[in-house]
Structure 1
Amino acid sequence: MKPFPDAKSTTPLRRLKIPPILRSRYSWRWIIVLIFLSCYLFSLPPFPRPLPKYSGPYPVGAVDVEIPLTSPRIIDTAQFKKTKANAFELNTVLFTLYYPSVQHATSRRPKHNWVPKPISVTGEGYAKFARVNNFIMKKVFTGALKALVGHIPIPANVDVPLAGLASTVMSIPEIQNVNTEIEKVIQIEKGGHPVIVFSHGMASSRTDYTHYAGELASRGYIVALLEHRDGSCPGSVVMQHGKPDQVKLTFDVPEVETIKGKDLTVDEFKRAQLDFREAEIEETVRVLKLINEGQGKEVFKSNMRDEGVDFLNWEGRLNTDEMIVAGHSYGATGAMQALRGGPSGRRPFKGGVILDPGKQSGQLNDDIRVPVLVIHSNSWSSKYSLFYGRAHFDMVRDIVENNVLRGMPSWFATSLGTSHPSVTDAPLLEPLLLSWTTGARIDVYEGLRQYMHVTENFLWFLSTGEKRGLLREKAEFPQYDEGKGFGMWKPAQGENEKTGGSWYNWRRYWQVHVSPN
């Protein structure tokens, strides 16, 4: 079953030289903002595409959840220089749940917007990222976003009932043609719907990975897309009972200081951000456990986003004892930190999906004691980056290898032809422009399809112990190999480019660097 439209061609595109300004850690976000801003200012049509529908056997539901903490948590004592307010005080946790919903469910609510309202918050956040946050540029960025992508909805139905377990829907006539998919889902739902907590990257938000999350949800998984208030999100609205809404914009090292008035180092700031992200992950786990334990009605009443009316019927239907943590870029670094020391009550993660772990987001945790799948985009592996005195690629590879030596089946692979934003929604909205500006050589639908298939195979392994697809292959590339085409193709296992077959299909798109096989 294909989650996206068929790729018209898998012929590699010519790699173009990228201007240095677009090569920063914010590159893909800056690219799409610059594209939209240019189109807006010069009246050029960007023609953003709608987000594709999901392809799994289930329809997909979505619920925004913002829940106050029992008591605020000050994660780090750093404070803003101007206001002296705590920079890393956690009062509420905000995430969107993507989940399998019942067939033919009708929502009374409009679909969520890809750029959440008020759009002015995101617009001002981008202006601040660009260091041009004044009255005029705030209006310009907001106007550009509103005119060009403000109308784009996320396809998931809002606040519809959670689907029953797969075994209860086998007889529905409309899905008889996907019974094979349903049979797969039955195997992963033995302890309830599996739960994935996903952490976004720098200059991103909870709405940047909706299609990746929605595809997993359409296959029986529940995905909580977090929105971090650690300074990495362009802008987020914090809602609390009895208090006016608070806009929390992006912030960086120069804006904060210690309680003694001293500047923070970059490493100290990154540590505070990662600790804050870990606390938000833990609070998300807490809320999901409350729902599963039968307190869904209370969670709904506490939800500042006024969604989740069906939570009272979610009792006992989530596997909250064995969750999965995932993340992209800065979020991948945060996900690795959440795996520190192995599963615990606050962090009950039996595995991790790590996508392009950050190169400028602090040290990578190597104390991992559960299986992990680490995926590098082509651009992440191909570009040499010095990381705490070593090559970033080598450090990531060694972390995964050491985890295998500890007896934890783990994988590290490069998705060939892809770029850093390939797993996000951005290429789906602007496929041609994103391919040109990021140097991606693979059709954007095929790139995200490959990410989905490998992720699904890893989640299947965590549930059943069976290795499928790419996970069955041996590691043949200790280092990234530029090779030819998308990668280095070598005849093996009796198959080659002429005969094709499953080996050729995976080798065309992947290089495996670490494998337990």
Structure 2
Amino acid sequence: MISPGVLRPRWTIRYVLSAVALSYFAICLLFDMPFFSSPLPQYTGEYNVGTIDIEVPVEKRNLSSAVFKDTGKPAFELETVLFSLFYPATKDAQSSKPNHLWFPKPIALQAEGYARLAGINNFFTNSLFTVGLWTLAGSTSIPAEPDVLMHGTVKTYQNYEAEHPIDDYGLPEFPVIVFSHGFASSRTDYSQYCGELASRGYVVAAIEHRDGSGPGSVVKRSDGSSTNRFLINANELDPTPATPELKVWQLAFRQAEIEETVRVLRQINDGIGNDLFNVNTRKEGKDLAEWRGRLNFERVVIGGHSYGATGAMQVLKGGHTYERPFVGAVILDPGKSSGPLNDDIRVPTLIIHSDSWSKKHSIFYGRPHFDVVRDIARKILDENKIFAWFVTSKGTTHPSVTDAPLIEPLLLSWTTGSTIDVKEGIYQYVKATVDLMEYLNDGHRRGILSEEVTHPEYDNDIRNEERKASMPKDIDKYWQIHVAPSTGCAFPGLCGVDHDHAARPPFK
């Protein structure tokens, strides 16, 4: 006989919590959802967003003489370049392909990379890492439509191009941002930031670096063969480099990947998208031929976060070149342990620190890191007579520009100390980036770029009560401004428009 107590359980707090937990886990298992995570939100701009993974061969070359001790194979051999394009898509675009996973398969590859980083690489710990990663975000997908038509695309027909030059199509051109990820990261880690920019009318190429700074990546070749790339420890290499030398090799590799990404984007814009599709080992980009003339190479900007910010600053050294056609830069939390920061920058530059990056006192080559970054911005502004800004995003932490706080908001807020709403944090980074892109388009300062210095040092507010009251509330709430041009435009020509480019109407 069944006890009445089993049929009618007591509704204790323990019973309710247990029932809720079991129900939650059952739903996650039923719908193949990772535990404890949140899905990435839809993008908020006016455009739908598409995404295309591109991996194509490049001229094979070594960026260092170092080889792996266990195999004798080159450690820094560049064979292919891999990046994800985020772009404005046609209205109501729906792909026949599944959305890209945030953790690309095989997830065990990423897990082994993180185990290597922790110094505990073996079958048992790798298995634990694999389960842990799936639990956190295993089936999370990126909310961009894979391999759909670009916004405004007009399908071309036989002989149509010969009779109607591309300039006659009247199709919009999209400015381009090339983005470099940080240490122990990959191209997918910034999908929300990149997708939000795409939803506002920009094409973003998010590079996957194979320089030994990412957890794990598969190099796929045209002949069907592949090689796994992991985080590289100096003691794996022959000759064994000191840490500074290793970072020089890695940054050189990153620069080569950035230049190759630009080369591929130029080929797409020149109309050979079909050829690229045929050699793309990721099997996407079937409509790349329709991208002819759609990328605005007068508005190409370099961006990066952490190690990627250090690399982005490096590629600006020496100024504008065909391989590095960058007319602006968005530098997010430039690295504290990724080598010296290049200060030879000759393009308008926006440097954004997270709150935690500015707040923590870190000695960087004998000086406080904050002071080094501030002085680089001042040099661009004062010596090179080019607009530059250095600001802090209040309430954010180092991961705030990544997708991680969106996927695990409670865990990341608890472990990092972030106090800003996770969606608001991404939005503020996106808004500031768009302010720079629009300034490069028409020469007008908007949003945070229209303000003067509020805090010459972190948390040292120099504003009087009148200025505090007059400042827009969203800027006052979310930003500290450490370096900025005077609103009086002290330098000749800086407030004016580049008339060679400004004849083109503001991008819509």
TM-score range, shorter chain: 0.7 to 0.9
Distance change >3 Å, CA 409–CA 482, structure 1 → 2? closer
Question: Are residue 105 (structure 1) and residue 93 (structure 2) matched?
Answer: yes
Note if contact 2:171-2:294 (Cα within 8 Å) is conserved in structure 1.
Answer: no
CA displacement at 1:46 relative to structure 2: 4.8
Question: Are residue 347 (structure 1) and residue 324 (structure 2) matched?
Answer: yes
CA displacement at 1:491 relative to structure 2: 2.1
Question: Are residue 375 (structure 1) and residue 349 (structure 2) matched?
Answer: no
Note if contact 1:417-1:440 (Cα within 8 Å) is conserved in structure 2.
Answer: yes
Question: Are residue 318 (structure 1) and residue 295 (structure 2) matched?
Answer: yes
**Any unmatched runs of 5+ in structure 1?**
1-39, 166-188
Name which of 39, 63, 66 aligns with 2:55.
Answer: 66
Note if contact 1:381-1:480 (Cα within 8 Å) is conserved in structure 2.
Answer: yes
Name which of 409, 418, 437 aligns with 1:431.
Answer: 409
CA displacement at 1:142 relative to structure 2: 1.2
Equivalent residue of 2:77, what SS? strand
Using the alignment, how far apart are the partners of 2:149 and 2:265 within structure 1?
Answer: 16
CA displacement at 1:477 relative to structure 2: 1.7
**Any unmatched runs of 5+ in structure 2?**
1-28, 154-169, 487-508
Using the alignment, how far apart are the partners of 2:141 and 2:430 within structure 1?
Answer: 21
Distance change >3 Å, CA 356–CA 244, structure 1 → 2? same
Note if contact 1:489-1:507 (Cα within 8 Å) is conserved in structure 2.
Answer: no
Equivalent residue of 2:63, what SS? strand
Equivalent residue of 1:456, what SS? helix
Using the alignment, how far apart are the partners of 2:460 and 2:409 within structure 1?
Answer: 23
Using the alignment, how far apart are the partners of 1:423 and 1:156 within structure 2?
Answer: 18
Question: Are residue 397 (structure 1) and residue 385 (structure 2) matched?
Answer: no
Which residue identity is paired with 2:465? P
Question: Are residue 511 (structure 1) and residue 499 (structure 2) matched?
Answer: no
Could you list the per-position Cα deviations for residues 239-273 of structure 1 after superposition, in whole angstroms to 9, with x for gaps in the alignment?
Answer: 00225211111112221133xxxx21111100100
Percent pairwise identity: 52
Question: Are residue 309 (structure 1) and residue 286 (structure 2) matched?
Answer: yes
TM-score (norm 1): 0.82
Distance change >3 Å, CA 444–CA 490, structure 1 → 2? farther
Aligned residues: 439
Equivalent residue of 1:326, what SS? strand
Question: Are residue 284 (structure 1) and residue 269 (structure 2) matched?
Answer: no
Describe how 1:210-221 pairs up with structure 2 within 5 A: 210-221=191-202
Could you list the per-position Cα deviations for residues 185-226 of structure 1 after superposition, in whole angstroms to 9, with x for gaps in the alignment?
Answer: xxxx99820010000000000110000000000011000111
Could you list the per-position Cα deviations for residues 130-159 of structure 1 after superposition, in whole angstroms to 9, with x for gaps in the alignment?
Answer: 111101111111122234421111000000
CA displacement at 1:476 relative to structure 2: 2.7
Distance change >3 Å, CA 160–CA 214, structure 1 → 2? same
Structure 1, 505-514 or 153-162: larger mean CA deviation:
505-514
Name which of 135, 139, 152 aligns with 2:140.
Answer: 152
Note if contact 2:353-2:391 (Cα within 8 Å) is conserved in structure 1.
Answer: yes
Larger Rg: 2
Describe how 1:490-509 pairs up with structure 2 within 5 A: 491-493=465-467, 496=469, 502-509=471-478
Alignment match, 1:131: 119
Question: Are residue 407 (structure 1) and residue 385 (structure 2) matched?
Answer: yes
Describe how 1:81-480 pairs up with structure 2 within 5 A: 81-164=69-152, 192-258=173-239, 263-405=240-382, 406-480=384-458
Using the alignment, how far apart are the partners of 1:198 and 1:82 within structure 2?
Answer: 33
Note if contact 1:418-1:441 (Cα within 8 Å) is conserved in structure 2.
Answer: yes
Using the alignment, how far apart are the partners of 1:215 and 1:310 within structure 2?
Answer: 22
Which residue identity is paired with 2:41? P
Which residue identity is paired with 2:65? T
Using the alignment, how far apart are the partners of 1:98 and 1:310 within structure 2?
Answer: 14
Using the alignment, how far apart are the partners of 2:207 and 2:145 within structure 1?
Answer: 19
Structure 1, 351-360 or 146-155: larger mean CA deviation:
146-155
Using the alignment, how far apart are the partners of 2:317 and 2:80 within structure 1?
Answer: 23
Note if contact 1:368-1:403 (Cα within 8 Å) is conserved in structure 2.
Answer: yes
Which residue identity is paired with 1:77? S
Alignment match, 1:80: 68
Question: Are residue 55 (structure 1) and residue 44 (structure 2) matched?
Answer: yes
Using the alignment, how far apart are the partners of 1:387 and 1:307 within structure 2?
Answer: 43
Note if contact 2:454-2:463 (Cα within 8 Å) is conserved in structure 1.
Answer: no
Note if contact 2:35-2:135 (Cα within 8 Å) is conserved in structure 1.
Answer: no
Could you list the per-position Cα deviations for residues 284-320 of structure 1 after superposition, in whole angstroms to 9, with x for gaps in the alignment?
Answer: 0000000000100001001000000010100001013
Using the alignment, how far apart are the partners of 1:46 and 1:390 within structure 2?
Answer: 43
Note if contact 1:198-1:224 (Cα within 8 Å) is conserved in structure 2.
Answer: yes
Could you list the per-position Cα deviations for residues 83-122 of structure 1 after superposition, in whole angstroms to 9, with x for gaps in the alignment?
Answer: 2211111000000000000012221111000000111110
Using the alignment, how far apart are the partners of 2:136 and 2:206 within structure 1?
Answer: 24
TM-score (norm 2): 0.83
CA displacement at 1:503 relative to structure 2: 2.6
Equivalent residue of 2:195, what SS? helix
Note if contact 1:193-1:319 (Cα within 8 Å) is conserved in structure 2.
Answer: yes
Equivalent residue of 1:459, what SS? helix
Equivalent residue of 1:77, what SS? coil
Could you list the per-position Cα deviations for residues 472-511 of structure 1 after superposition, in whole angstroms to 9, with x for gaps in the alignment?
Answer: 111132211177xxxx875233x53xxxx65332112111
Equivalent residue of 2:194, what SS? helix
Structure 1, 100-109 or 371-380: larger mean CA deviation:
100-109
Using the alignment, how far apart are the partners of 1:265 and 1:131 within structure 2?
Answer: 18
CA displacement at 1:332 relative to structure 2: 0.2
Using the alignment, how far apart are the partners of 1:145 and 1:481 within structure 2?
Answer: 37
Using the alignment, how far apart are the partners of 1:148 and 1:433 within structure 2?
Answer: 10
Provide the aligned C-alpha RMSD in A: 2.0
Equivalent residue of 2:466, what SS? coil
